[in-house]
Amino acid sequence: MRPLAVVVFAETLPIVLLGSVWLGGSPATAESAPLVQAALATDDSPPVAAALALPPVREPVFERQQVGSPMAAVAAGDPIGILVGGTVRSVDGWPIPSAGVTFRRGDEYHIGSTEPNGAYAALGLDPGEWSLTCNAEDFAQVEQRVTLDRRPYQQFDFELHPAYIVKVKIQNAAGQFVPSLIATQSGVELGAVASEAPLSGDLPITGEPTYRRFGAGEWHTSTNSGRGGALDAQMRAQGCAGELRLDHDPPVHVALVFRHYVLQSQPVAPGQHEVVFTVEADDVLGRLATATLRLVDGATLQPLPRARIELRAGAGAPSIGMTGDDGRAVLEHVAPGPMQLLVWTVANGFLRRHVRVPPGGTLDFGEVRMAVPRWIQVAALDAEGRPVTDAEVDLDEFDEAAVPTVPSARGWVPVDGSGQARLPFGDHRYVVFARSRRKGCGHALVDASGVAPAAVSVTLVEGTRIVLRCDFDQTVGYLVTVFDGQRTPVRSVWLGGERRPDGTMLPPGNYTVEIHDGNDRLVRSFALTVGREPLTLDVP
């Protein structure tokens, strides 16, 4: 009798444990819900379990749907590929609308945006490893690597935590708002980054005016955040240059940065929601450089007057100059770091060149020659020689370009219905790139320094995926440059700071790879044979 009562009591415990596991995971699992909450949920996920696991919602307007059961492998050749869906909610259960869910692999990405009920979907994915990011306004970003298998539908749910806000004040010793004092110089912008440990030096160089996402959070400036004038004005009135939205609660270290230069740093303790940096405007303005050049016609060497010159970092405001009658231009107050030199002329067309501006002092680009552009027809062809009508083409001049070059955004030009586009060539050698979602990628070397070819064709082939495995700290940057057999730079991938692509695509062939650090020092060089199978490169 007494033993029977003990048996009944003893049976109760496993029932509770087994029942809770069956109904949706152990209480411990639920409490320590990972950020990507159900990465393994599949067509077999139990509706009941899902329903029980759901947090409360505001109102019962969203009907819960059952997930079907029979699973199949994704059909080869079906453009639908793998369908991915799920729900994005806050930790207290509210659905988050307009959240972005991005699957990224090298240059390829697939984006889903959440509906008002928090549901999202994306399709066209292939099996393999992907970088998965979920972000939403005012919530901490979630990013991790996931592996998709061959099932046609796979589910990823997210529970987002509110971002931890740290307001950043930047003032001088007299208490003045420093961003206003330096705002007279266009393109000069201060920012802040958060990191787990104190930064030991400057950040990796960046092509953008300032870092937006780095380490443990995201910087939102009050000067041009785009959130709306009233909110920004309110922040500025409080003396705040912006706010850091941390992915987790402090302790963290916050650094004041000007492009990739770290000006100051200080720790942020748990519970702390404001930091104040004291810096003099001259400490920032003293790092600005002056750039000069003389612009001449490539054929006659005569000066090119009234040309507009810009030095621009990413989407930031440029430093602008105009050439005089002698073709000379002086651009003052140029922010240091990687820049694009852009030149517009009336008769000699347009020039884009990647340059590196050192802090302080004067940088002389010397004589810049611009030939009257020759518009050359570029044809994108597939392996059978047929036109590829969904291709885009672009070109890089590489005679005068600094190699290694930190790449910036391209100006892809779509081809027309005959698979062709006209591109302007100067008196140089160029690499012409072409890409197509359906036909792959390709490049061709064009020597326009002598007699320019009448037409150029680029053959697109299915690229082979090159995975770049980066096992180095976020405070370090490396540039991977791939040269073909004629030492033409056919691919440049900058891996540093917030920009760290996980791979690239290359047509099969023999290449040489060079890896430089952020100071342009060659770290490693090796031969690479690309076949049909994906390759993994360790960087550095």
Residues 384-443 close enough to bind another protein by CB under 8 A? 389-390, 414, 416-418, 420, 422, 437-438
Q: Contact with another protein (CB under 8 A): which of 27, 78, 138, 276?
A: 78
* Residue position matching structure tokens 């079907």: 68
Among 58, 59, 65, 271, binds another protein (CB under 8 A): 65
CA distances to 22, 89, 213, 257 from 46, rounded to whole Å, are: 10, 20, 38, 49
Stretch that binds another protein, among 49-57, 237-245, 323-331, 490-498 (CB under 8 A): 49-57
Which class for 6: exposed (0-12), middle (13-18), buried (19 or more C-beta within 10 A)?
exposed
Question: What is the closest distance, in whole angstroms, from the C-beta atom of residue 86 to another protein in the complex?
Answer: 6
Q: Which stretch binds another protein (CB under 8 A): 45-53, 191-199, 350-358, 527-535?
A: 45-53
DSSP 8-state symbol, 215: B
Strands across the sheet containing 509-517: 489-496, 477-483, 509-517, 522-530
Q: What's 118's DSSP letter?
A: S
Q: Closest separation between CB of residue 403 and another protein, Å?
A: 31
**Cβ atoms 263, 202 nearer than 8 A:** no
With contacts defined by CB under 8 A, name the span among 72-80, 212-220, 323-331, 476-484 that binds another protein.
72-80
- Structure token digits, residue 222: 């009050």
| 66 belongs to the binding site for another protein (CB under 8 A) | yes
Question: Closest CB to another protein among 70 and 531?
Answer: 70
380 Cβ contact partners less than 8 Å away, ≥ 6 residues apart: 387, 388, 391, 393, 415, 419, 420, 421, 434, 436, 439, 442, 457, 458, 460
Among 35, 112, 268, 428, binds another protein (CB under 8 A): 112
For residue 360, what are its two tokens?
């302080």
Q: Does 22 bind another protein (CB under 8 A)?
A: yes
Query: C-alpha 329: how far from its chain's center?
Result: 33
Residue pair 318/312 in contact by the 8 Å Cβ criterion: yes
Single out the segment in contact with another protein by CB under 8 A; choices: 76-84, 278-286, 317-325, 359-367: 76-84
To the nearest whole angstrom, how small is the minimum distance from the Cβ of residue 507 to another protein? 19
Q: Is residue 51 at the binding interface for another protein, with CB under 8 A as the rule?
A: yes
How far is Cα of residue 534 from the mean position of the Cα atoms in its chain? 22
Which lies closer to another protein via its Cβ, residue 306 or residue 438? 438
At closest approach, how far in Å is the CB of 301 from another protein?
Answer: 23
Q: Is 62 in the site for another protein (CB under 8 A)?
A: yes
Q: Which is nearer to another protein, 135 or 405 (CB)?
A: 135
| Separation of alpha carbons 183 and 189, rounded Å | 7
- Residue 514 CA, chain-centre distance (Å), reads 22
d(CA 147, CA 482): 27
CB under 8 A: which stretch of 60-68, 183-191, 246-254, 522-530 binds another protein? 60-68
Letter for the amino acid at 529?
T
- Residue indicated by tokens 């069956």: 22
CA distance 410 to 406: 12
Considering only residues 320 to 359 of the shown chain, the ones binding another protein according to CB under 8 A are 346
The CA–CA distances, whole Å, from 227 to 223, 232, 234, 340, 420 equal 10, 7, 12, 27, 40
| Among the listed residues 380, 406, 381, the one whose alpha carbon sits nearest the alpha carbon of residue 393 | 380
Q: How many chain residues interact with another protein (CB under 8 A)?
A: 89
Q: How far is the CB of 499 from another protein (least distance, A)?
A: 24
Nearest to another protein of 7, 233 (CB atom): 7
Confirm or reject binding of residue 144 to another protein (CB under 8 A).
no
Question: How far does Cα 181 stand from its chain's mean position?
Answer: 30
The distance of closest approach from Cβ of residue 146 to another protein in the complex, given in angstroms and rounded to an integer, is: 13
Residue 119 binds another protein, judged by CB under 8 A: yes
Q: Is 87 a residue that touches another protein (CB under 8 A)?
A: yes
Measured from the CB atom, the residue of 153 and 219 that comes closer to another protein is 153
Cβ contact 19:129 at 8 Å: no
Residue from 80, 91, 315, 522 in contact with another protein (CB under 8 A): 80
**DSSP 8-state symbol, 180:** H
Decide whether 100 or 540 has the Cβ nearer to another protein. Answer: 100
Which residue among 27, 64, 145, 520 contacts another protein (CB under 8 A)? Answer: 64
Pick the binder of another protein from 56, 60, 79, 485 (CB under 8 A).
79
CB of 432 to another protein, least distance (A): 17
- Counting contacts by CB under 8 A, is residue 44 touching another protein? yes
Provide the CA 208 distance to its chain's centre, in angstroms: 11
